[in-house]
């Protein structure tokens, strides 16, 4: 069979880097798209090509519709197929309503939502021609649970959830599945400061009492991109260590300590 191909936006750092490497290790040709960090991109490309010689990185701002179309067109022209789109590009930032400028709101919606919309729209014609495909979007626990200071971020991820569900409905007739992964607190460069400041308290809300790794997310995304996930669509799948699933999760750990004394 011809090698399957994947586009991963935000694909050179954090969760995106782990996803790109996971897919390359599974035999995909990967186009990892990034926006600004050239050093991380060079390092990733070197690693990718050890596993998949045809894989490459591409610098682009996919929050622009014409750029998203160019990326999809370039991959199709190069490889003749687009099997998987992972919409991982995103930013995380706190800003209270009273402090939020129009420019700030536009920026976070552009990066977190419009980039996913434009990339999805851009790959649809190619996936239809191919006869199917997998679209996997980056949501967040904040798309469902409200959090003070995260109006912009939370709204952008709630929009991604709706895009995912509606996309699943509209694209089902062509064999294209659309799902989203909704991370809780994953330890990356983007969350390192937050974890350092208040991680000791936040971890108590997790059933598993540990923060996630980029590799945890990559494993889920790899499955959603696979043939085995062909009957899963329209789902927003949490990958959050059981965050907020039950009150006082830390009590179970306290009991274990008492039993072991």
> Which domains does the chain show, CATH number per domain?
5-190+211-242 (3.40.50.720)
Chain position carrying tokens 């992972």: 86
Reported pTM = 0.94
- Tell me the catalytic residues: 153
Query: With 60 as the cut, is the pLDDT of residue 14 above it?
Result: yes
Examine the pLDDT at 45 and tell me if it is beyond 90. Answer: yes
| 1 has a pLDDT exceeding 70 | no
| Structure token pair of residue 217 | 């997310």
> For residue range 157-213, what is the model confidence (pLDDT) as tens digits?
999 999 999 999 999 999 999 999 999 999 998 888 888 888 888 898 899 999 999
When pLDDT is averaged across residues 3-10 and rounded to a whole number, the result is 96
Rounded mean pLDDT of 51-66?
95
Place of tokens 């460069």: 189
């Amino acid at each position: 069979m011809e090698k399957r191909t994947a586009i991963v936006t935000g694909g050179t750092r954090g969760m995106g880097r782990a996803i790109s490497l996971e897919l390359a290790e599974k035999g995909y040709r990967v186009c990892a798209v990034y926006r600004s960090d050239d050093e991380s991109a060079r390092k990733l490309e070197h690693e990718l090509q050890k596993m998949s010689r045809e894989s490459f990185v591409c610098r682009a701002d996919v929050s622009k519709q014409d750029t998203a179309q160019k990326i999809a067109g370039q991959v199709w022209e190069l490889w003749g197929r687009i099997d998987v789109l992972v919409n991982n590009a995103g930013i995380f930032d706190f800003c209270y309503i009273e402090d939020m400028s129009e420019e700030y709101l536009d920026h976070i919606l552009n990066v977190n939502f419009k980039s996913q919309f434009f990339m999805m729209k851009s790959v649809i014609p190619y996936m239809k021609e191919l006869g199917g495909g997998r679209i996997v979007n980056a949501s967040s626990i904040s798309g469902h649970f409200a959090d003070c200071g995260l109006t912009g971020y939370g709204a952008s991820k709630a929009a991604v959830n709706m895009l995912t569900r509606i996309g699943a409905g509209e694209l089902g007739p062509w064999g294209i599945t659309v799902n989203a992964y909704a991370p809780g607190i994953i330890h990356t460069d983007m969350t390192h400061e937050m974890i350092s400041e208040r991680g000791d308290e936040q971890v108590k809300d997790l059933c598993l009492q540990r923060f996630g790794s980029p590799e945890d997310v990559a494993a889920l995304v790899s499955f959603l991109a696979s043939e085995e996930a062909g009957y899963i669509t329209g789902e927003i799948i949490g990958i959050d260590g059981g965050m907020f699933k039950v009150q006082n999760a830390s009590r179970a750990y306290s009991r274990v300590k008492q039993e072991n004394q």
